[in-house]
Amino acid sequence: MNNINNILGLAVAGCVLLVAAPALAEDVKLGILGDLTGPIESLAPPIVAGAQLAFDHVNAQGGILGGGKIVSIIGDSACDPSVAGPAADKLVNTDQVTAIVGAFCTGATIGAATSAGIPGGVVQISPSASAPALTTLKDNDLVYRTTPSDAFQGVKMAELLLGKGIKDVALTYVNNDYGKGLADVFAATFTAGGGNVTANVAHEDGKADYRAELGQLSSGGSQNLVILAYASGSGKTILQQAIEAGEFTAYVGGDGMVGDDLMTGVPADAVNGKIIATRAGAYAGESALIYTQLATDAGQDPTATYAPQAYDAAFLLALAVQKNGSAAREGLSAALREVASAPGEKILPGEWAKALELLAAGTDIDYEGAGGPADFDAAGDVDGVIVELAVENGAFVEKGPIQ
């Protein structure tokens, strides 16, 4: 707890450093490209807030590049590649950001990267783009993520159900990189473990009626429905219509379903004890405890979906800029890998002032974040923790890591 108290004290003391910053300090523009509208709009605000909290800590503890401020510029990618491309183009070519946190959906992240980020040499770190397709993107080492791939989440979801004795499921997924990637891994692992996918149906997001798809899904006979979609989009509509039809008794969701909007208009007795879900979870270490305290003190929910990973993405970008020594895009990717991985002295969430001192002295650092170690592999992926959630009293409650 001494570490936590020290870090909290730095946030106050850092304000004095900021006032005394040199006149020629260099401000740095960093983008936050979030899916503020569209099918995950209910999940987006806490993710944006998590990233902004990291920038606030930097600005309060001496700033960046000699006392400059991080200026965050927010764009909306709407969980849609056709929207993400122009939004990223504005950030990259008009606003001239150095790097970007985001996007949040995988399709939007890839759309932003291919349209503007990669051509502009801009590093992107997504806190939540989880589809396996991101791993194989030809990105010139510019696209990273601080959440584990669905190649991991899909395995853990299947293991969770098999561990609970669930041997058959009907499966539907939103027909995009996220939905198909997660569904493919889940189905393969579930089947290999002895489970039976009685129906496997892709669906398009944004429809008002999924009764035809539900008819296909229920025809296989399973009363367990896995919905891999979005809480503010098709996932919510499918859940509501499935409850109305009464063909299923239990429901399973992925991370895209874990949002308050999913429960709006749904009777509590229809979901309590009947929905479980999976998502990336917080690391069970000192860095996670520190982040929890920092987020709580800032009036934020430290358990909000992908908020810890957003904090890590933003803090890592700031560390990389400081390591790189300027607001230039060139060299930032290499600097990011240096501050994110061993060897080096550990830097935890909120420890910006400590990082400044170490970097100024030429000391290697190794950031360990709210979501755990940020040791990027060659593809820009990280390991992580997948947790189980259940609906109790009309809300998702985290039950712990899936072992």
Residue 130: which of 334, 305, 336, 302 has the closest Cα?
A: 305
Q: Is 46 exposed, middle or buried (0-12, 13-18, 19+ CB in 10 A)?
A: buried
Residue 244: partners with Cβ closer than 8 Å, 6 or more residues away: none
Give, for 7, the enclosing helix (H) or strand (E).
Answer: helix 2-19
280 closest CA partner among 206, 349, 370, 177: 370
pLDDT in tens, 218-263: 999 999 999 999 999 999 999 999 999 999 999 999 999 998 889 8
Q: What is the pLDDT of residue 14?
A: 42
pTM score of the predicted model: 0.85
Q: Are 238 and 263 in contact (CB under 8 A)?
A: no
pLDDT at position 24, please? 58
CB distance 79 to 39 below 8 Å: yes
Residue 207: what residue type?
K
- The number of beta carbons lying within 10 Å of the beta carbon of residue 361 is 7
Residues with Cβ within 8 Å of 122's Cβ and at least 6 positions away in sequence, in order, are: 91, 92, 97, 98, 99, 100, 116, 142, 329
CA separation, residue 184 to residues 163, 178, 180, 216, 259 (Å): 19, 10, 6, 18, 23
Q: How far apart are CA 110 and CA 147, in angstroms?
A: 15
On whether the CB atoms of residues 401 and 372 are closer than 8 A, the answer is no
3-state secondary structure (DSSP) of residue 207: coil
pLDDT of residue 5: 52
Cα(349)–Cα(369) distance, integer angstroms: 6
Regions of the chain where pLDDT drops below 50:
1-2, 8, 10-23
pLDDT confidence of residue 107: 96
Tokens (6 digits) for 75: 């764009």
Q: Is the separation of the CB atoms in 156 and 315 below 8 Å?
A: no
Q: Each residue of 349-365: pLDDT tens digit?
A: 999 999 999 999 999 99
Among 342, 321, 343, 341, CA closest to 332: 321
128 closest CA partner among 111, 154, 110, 149: 149
| Structure-block tokens of residue 154 | 């899909």
